[in-house]
Amino acid sequence: MTKTELAKKLGVSRSSLYYKSKQDLKDKKILPEIKKIMSMNPSYGHRRIAIALKVNHKKVLRLMKKFNLVPELKRVKSKYNRVKQRKVETNLIKNFCPIVPNVVWLSDFTYLRFKNKFVYLTTVIDVFSRKVIGWHLSLKQDSKMVQKALLEAFREGSPEFFHSDRGSQYQDRGLEELLNSKNIKPSKSDKSSPWQNSWQESFFSQFKLDLNGTGRFQDYDELVDGIYQQIEYYNNKRIHTALKKSPQEFLLEYRDSLQRVDTVSKKMGT
C-alpha cells in the first residue's frame, strides 16, 4: 500500500505521515545529557539530575518515565516504627536549624559486611553544610571508634552541640570527658526515635547505595580507601538536594560571602 493510499484510508493528509513531533525532537536532544549524568552518578534521581542540568525537575521526571530510565543504584525505602515518647530534655536540637558552621554536629555509626564479618563506620556531620567532617572505620564496635571520628572532626573546629542516639557507644565516660574538655553540650535523640537524627540516617542510606557493596574490595586497606573515595565524592561532588550543590561547594560559597561582607565593612570603616 502506498503512502497516498494509506493516508486516504486513515482520512489524513499524506504530509501528516511524515510529521515528527517537535517535542519528541527536543526530548531526544536532551536525552544524551541525562544519560551522561546518570552514568557518572548511578544513584542520581530526577531531582539531582535536574540540578546538574539546570532544568526543571518535572521535565526530567517526565523524560525518565518516557524513556524508561531508572537509576542503576536504587534505595530501598523503609518506614520507621514511630513510638510515642514522653519529652526528654536531653534532646537539645529539636526544631533547631543552624545558620553557621560548627553549631550542631551529628554522629552515628553503621555496619558493613566484609569478608563474612562486620566492620563499623562512624561519621560526624555538620548540620549546617551536611559535610562529613570526621569518620573512622573499625573492626570493633565500641566507644573508641566514636572518639576517633570526633577527634578527626576537631580539625574543623568544635561545635556547641554534639547530637547522637542513646547507644552505649555514645554514653561512654571517655566520650563525655572529651566533650567536656571542649565545652560541648551532648544532645541525645529520644528513645526509639531514629528520625531525630534523620540527617545521619539519610546519609548512611545514600552512602551504602553509592558504595554499591563491599565485594569489589580485595582486602581491608582497599575497603578503607574505597570508603575514603566515596566520602570525598559525597563531600565535594555529589549534589545534595537540600543544598542544590555539594556540601563543600555550599561551605565555600558561605565563606566567600563572609569575606565579601568583611571587605565591604572595612571599606565603609575607612
Per-residue pLDDT, averaged over 79-97, amounts to 60
Is the model more confident about 221 or about 63?
Answer: 221
Q: For residue 219, give the 3-state DSSP assignment.
A: coil
Q: Can you give the pLDDT at residue 222?
A: 95
C-alpha angle with apex 151: 146 to 156, nearest 5 degrees?
Answer: 125
Segment 210-230 mean pLDDT: 93
CA atoms of 94 and 144, how far apart (whole Å)? 27
Half-sphere exposure of 60 (CA within 13 A, CB side): 22
What SS3 state is found at 153? helix
Q: Is residue 20 scored above 60 in pLDDT?
A: no
Average pLDDT of span 155-181: 93
Could you report the per-residue pLDDT of 100-139, keeping only the tens digit for each?
999 999 999 999 999 999 999 999 999 999 999 999 999 9
Helices (H) and strands (E) in the chain, counts: 9, 5
Most confident of 1-5, 37-41, 164-168, 179-183: 179-183
* 84 — pLDDT class (breaks 50, 70, 90): very low
Asked: is 104-252 a CATH 3.90.1150.10 domain? The reply is no
pLDDT at residue 253, as a whole number: 94
Sorting pLDDT into bands at 50, 70 and 90, what band is 39?
confident
Domain ranges of the chain: 3-66, 104-252
- pLDDT score, position 85: 43
Global pTM exceeds 0.85 = no
- Quick one: pLDDT band at residue 232, thresholds 50, 70, 90? very high
- CA-only gyration radius of the chain, Å: 25
Residue 21: predicted pLDDT: 59
Share of the chain above pLDDT 90, in %: 46
- The answer to whether residue 172 scores a pLDDT higher than 80 is yes
Q: Residue 87 — pLDDT band, cuts 50, 70, 90?
A: very low
Residue type, 223: L
Asked if residue 163 lies in contact with residue 104, where contact means CB atoms within 8 angstroms, the answer is yes
